[in-house]
Structure 1
Amino acid sequence: MPDLNADALQFLQTRRSRPAKTLGLPVPDQTALMPLLTAAARSPDHGKLEPWRFIVIDRAAMGPLAELAQARGTALGLDAEQIQKGRGQFDLGQLAVVVVEVHKPSEKIPALEQTYSAGAVCLALLNAALAAGWGANWLSGWVSHDRDFQTQGFGLEAHERIAGIIHIGTETSAPPDRPRPDIEALTTWL
């Protein structure tokens, strides 16, 4: 029987994201954030390609990103509710980490596996922040998928895209738990 890390297993079985709009000050400083990024970077990465990178958004950068989301939403012809949802994470955000998926040429590692690795980094960062006692939430939405927002807001190149925006801060109110999947119904044994 393997050695059980009961605390880690309990954490993973009960982890809960915190809504980004409920995250406030304080937020991790650079010293506190680096161990979280280090933990996230230990995600599965076939071929050791490191098909991702990080962009840290501090409070000062949130305002211009909110304005860009407003402008892009208007240019795209989105309705007011969609525009507000797109800019809201930046209006309210105090600190966030953009996980950028970076596709790298590889004969052995398909692009899809690189996408999976970037997604694993998002979840690992989210879990590292929660394990460190912070509140955290993984957001995407239309702004994350809008090419002009990606290039104007973050200077992403053609082979890059946003995998997720992980907001991190102090939890100001605990969310209620939500219904969880029926594991028995979703599991097939062969």
Structure 2
Amino acid sequence: MGTPVLNLLLERRSCSSLGEPAPDEQALDVIFRAALRVPDFQRLRPYRFLVASGDGLHRLGALMQDAARQSGLADEIVDRALGMPKRAPMVVVVAAIHRPHKVVTPFEQQLTAGCAVMAMQMAAFAQGYGGIWRSGWPMFNRTLHSALGLAEADQIVGFLYLGTPTAEPKNPLPGAEWASFVQWL
């Protein structure tokens, strides 16, 4: 293929084994500038990025634990919630912020926020960091949304865990060729 950009796209892999260091201020500048370049119909910028690192990881975990408890989730989920953000030295909560608009639907705005997560992960990967886009119950928990200051119409689209890979990321699933996912009209 040849070009560095194509190699980046074709070699990107999620990495769940992450340690210090997290992206520094200069790397974060690139990561967030990449997020602002995603497709965004009508330039609504329908996203917010909530960054947790250091003590912020404990605060985010406490919010998750409290949300799990208030929502009546199983004790094992409540117990595990406190440590969830600590699987990486930095977690970026990405939320689609609903901007009322006569043409751009909430779903389109959520897609824009989702594209921002991917752009941020790619920018981190390009700078030598690892990352993984996580979802799970916290993404849909309205108690957590409220605790994070999000409005009822807003929606978390993912948790981007960032850091330095501490193990080789898993290879993509073998055997899948793009042609098996494509139908020509």
TM-score (norm 1): 0.87
Shift in CA distance, 182/87, structure 1 to aligned 2, threshold 3 Å? farther
For residues 185 and 31 of structure 1, the distance between their equivalents in structure 2, rounded to whole angstroms, comes to: 40
Residue 26 of structure 2 corresponds to 31
Describe how 1:139-154 pairs up with structure 2 within 5 A. Answer: 139-152=134-147, 154=148
* Alignment partner of 2:6 out of 3, 6, 9: 9
- Compare 93-102 and 72-81 and name the one that shifted more: 72-81
80-89 or 104-113, larger mean C-alpha shift? 80-89
SS at match of 1:109: coil
State the partner residue of 2:119. Answer: 124
2:131 to 111, 125, 136: 136
Residue 158 of structure 2, aligned match among 141, 156, 164:
164
Pair 1:42 & 2:41 matched:
no
CA RMSD in angstroms, aligned pairs only: 1.9
C-alpha deviation, 1:125, in angstroms: 0.6
Distance apart, 1:40 and its partner CA: 1.4
Aligned residues: 184
Q: Distance in 2 between matches of 1:150 and 1:85?
A: 19
Of stretches 36-45 and 168-177 in structure 1, the one that deviates more from structure 2 is: 168-177
Taking the TM superposition and a 5 Å limit, the aligned residue runs for 1:52-131 are 52-84=47-79, 86-131=81-126
Whether contact under 8 Å (1:100, 1:163) holds in the other structure is yes
| C-alpha contact 2:18 2:131 (8 A) present in aligned 1 | yes
Q: Secondary structure at the match of 1:179?
A: coil
SS in 2 for 1:99: strand
Query: Shift of the alpha carbon at 1:75?
Result: 3.0
Residue 67 of structure 1 and its aligned partner are, at CA, apart by: 2.3
Q: Distance in 2 between matches of 1:36 and 1:26?
A: 15
**Residue aligned with 2:99, SS:** coil
Structure 1: runs of 5+ lacking an equivalent: none
Deviation at 1:65, TM superposition (A): 2.0
Unaligned runs of 5+ in 2: none
Counterparts of 2:54 and 2:83, CA distance in 1:
13
How far apart are 1:52 and its partner, in Å? 0.8
SS of the residue aligned with 1:57?
A: strand
Residue 176 of structure 1 aligns to a residue whose secondary structure is: coil
